Amino acid sequence: MSIPQFAKSFSHIKDGERIDNKPVRIAGRLDSKRVQGQNLVFYDIVSQDQKIQIMADRRMAVGDSFAIHDTLRRGDIVGVVGVPGKSKRGELTVFPTEVILLSPCLRLLPPKHSGLKDQEIRYRQRYLDMIMNPAVKSIFHIRSRIINYIRRFLDERVCISLPSLSPSPPPPPPPPRSSADEISEYLQFEPTGF
């Protein structure tokens, strides 16, 4: 189940209530991690520009599955199996019985409060810019919709794009190889007699 579907399906739950007979499975990127003592860990996971809270309690964990919380960090993509509910403050929450690391974040994300300030990193690492700045991601979505609309508009009116009149030359043949010693040999002509 996606996070937007989860939010739509369980928004009717009252504050402090849990639905124990409807287990859910959700995946998303860890946006923040807050540890409250030894038995309680809070996460915010984000997917498709929506965020929900995960409230991991040692008493609800199956077997030794609570040990994974020591290894999880911000940026990891996790899968959560648990029951839906709302916290006492009214935040939509999943109370997990199991948390699975689907894909670790190999490089730490920049701090959330300062964000990405370096323009060079923002241009060279677009994926990081879209993770850190949701506004940039929405601009890319809008740009993609505009391009698709223009493409459909032109396709409906039988506009075709023609290849250039001067075709590019065919690619060069592969270099000859010597099968005897498996060493690549290239033919080279040297200009002589100048």
pLDDT digit string (tens) for 82-126?
A: 999 888 888 889 999 888 899 998 888 877 766 777 788 887 888
- Residue 185's pLDDT band (boundaries 50, 70, 90)? low
Is the whole-model pTM more than 0.75? no
CA–CA distances in Å: residue 138 to residues 22, 44, 86, 128, 162: 33, 20, 28, 14, 32
pLDDT at 7: 86
Residues 60, 97: contact at Cβ < 8 Å? yes
CATH of domain 3-103: 2.40.50.140
What pLDDT shows up at residue 142?
93
Predicted confidence (pLDDT) per residue in 42-78, tens digit: 999 988 888 899 988 888 777 777 778 888 888 899 9
Question: In whole angstroms, what is the distance from residue 103 CA to residue 77 CA?
Answer: 5
Domain boundaries in the chain? 3-103, 119-156
Helix (H, G, I), strand (E, B) or coil at 144: helix
Give the span between the Cα atoms of 152 and 149, in whole angstroms.
5
Q: What is the pLDDT of residues 131-163, one digit of tens each?
A: 887 788 888 889 999 999 988 888 887 766 666
pLDDT at 194: 44
